Amino acid sequence: MWQFSLYVLALAVASITHLVYRWRNPKCSGKLPPGSMGWPLLGETLQFFAPNRTWDIPPFVKERITRYGSIFRTSFVGLPVIVSTDPDLNHMVFQQEGQLFQSWYPYSLRQIYGKQNVSTLHGYLHKHLKNMMLNLFGHGSLKNMLSDIESVATRNIEMWVGQGTVELKDATADMVFGLTAKKLISYDLEKSSENLRENFDAFLEGLLSVPMAIPGTAYYKCLQGRKKVMRILKNMLEERKQKPNKVKADFFDHVLEELKQANTILTEEIALDLMFVLLFTSFETAAMGLLVAIKLLTDNPRALKELTEEHEKILKERENLEAGLTWEEYKSMTFTFQIINETVRLANIVPAIFRKALTDIKIKDYTIPSGWVVMVSLPAVHLDPVNYKDPLDFNPWRWEGMGMKGASKNFMAFGGGQRFCVGADFARLQMAVFLHCLVTKYRWQPIKGGETLRTPGLQFPNGFHVKFFKKDYKMNQDPKSELANYPKQI
């Protein structure tokens, strides 16, 4: 009997050894990029999600670039992945959409964004939805939004002046979400019985966290937030169907009009997932971008001085000082666009973009097997010292003469190719207009917080607490003053 048991044990050990060997040495018709697949099933997931406080390339990626080069293999939660920090491969990934590569997101992200969200759709359906979104984010629509964005920015900053210390992370998120939700679904927090925005609080942290749907985890909070938002959107959809607006008031009206068409390819499930993703992505980039921009300007008085001079010049050249911003004035904000480019380059708000190989792909002596996922590491692109001298320095002057930068091999903060972010210009517009309203009329003073954490998404775990003043405000120099020991006013 003991001999049989020994045989079974030996067979089990041999089987496990074979499986581990096959795991660490995947099949490939050519030469796989170097790297490690980590532990079976778990892969190198924990190492990838390990938090760090640096603005530099994440340690997980940086260490492997040193060891393996700009293209290497790994595995996350049992998924074989090729990590690319190589400009040529990155360019190929974006330019060969639908031919060699296909947009792809991990199962955990699809559960949050929705199985029918626009990011995971392909071909004609994706193109159709993208054209619909241009009704909201196209050039003509943005020109019409300019005065609304300026009014919202002015109103919120004025409110912050009267509040004392403001936690800027939440304040910018509330401001940008309020504007975005109004344009998308006519949502008004003051008139609503539910706070829609608070359901998105844990999203950036949860989207790129270890996908464990256990109560208390960031991922679980993300899933619960999605359920609440989807319930609210579903109720709105039903109410609009019963009592439609006579005149199109928001993007939801355009979606409802499309759903009524006899030959439409849009379904209610796709429509609701679309609204959900737009609500999140269209405010998240601008809100985090503004937060990071103010933090960077706080630490760089020279850049703040030049930014202020640019916007004060706009006011000096304006015939009617009571008039609002014009589109021509917005387009003239050269240094502001440099600030925005540099901010999103350093922030790397979206730390990675995923694509799946549709066939075996040869690149630089390596083969990417069909079905494998390619993860483009944006921090490795944006912080490469070959392309950006002193890459960790906030240096908006490096963008001189480059205008409102789109996508290139070395700059892809808003993606690239066919899936270049439709809302990129909307985010830039909000950031530029807010900065105009801020630096022409107000000053601010950092109070506490401002520390960052990457998991790998960017977070401000302690917030960023700031006090705002009107420019004509004279600080109280009394040593007993509440502000006496605070840093110098910006």
Binding-site residues for heme, in ranges, read 421
Give the DSSP H or E segment for 89: helix 87-95
316: tokens are 């000096």
Give the DSSP H or E segment for 278: helix 268-298
In sequence order, the 6+-apart residues with CB closer than 8 A to the CB of 205 are 218, 222, 455, 457, 459
Beta bridge partners of 470: 442
Give the three-class secondary structure for 454: strand
Q: Which amino acid is at 32?
A: L
CA atoms within 13 A on the CB side of 263: 1
Alpha-carbon Rg for the chain in angstroms:
25
∠ CA 282-128-101, rounded to 5°: 80
Q: What distance in Å separates the CA atoms of residue 337 and residue 282, rounded to the nearest whole number?
A: 19
Give the three-class secondary structure for 190: helix
Annotated binding site: 421
In sequence order, the 6+-apart residues with CB closer than 8 A to the CB of 193 are none
∠ CA 196-200-206, rounded to 5°: 160
Token pair 């464990």: residue: 212
Q: What distance in Å separates the CA atoms of residue 353 and residue 367, rounded to the nearest whole number?
A: 20
Distances (CA, A) of 418 to 82, 95, 103, 135: 21, 7, 10, 17
- Count each helix (H run) and each strand (E run) in the chain, helices first: 17, 12
Q: What distance in Å separates the CA atoms of residue 248 and residue 250, rounded to the nearest whole number?
A: 6
373: tokens are 């996922």
Classify residue 201 by burial, with Cβ atoms within 10 Å: 0-12, 13-18, 19+: middle
Instruction: Kindly state the DSSP code that residue 214 receives in the 8-state scheme.
Output: -
Beta bridge partners of 363: 366
Q: What distance in Å separates the CA atoms of residue 81 and residue 86, rounded to the nearest whole number?
A: 15
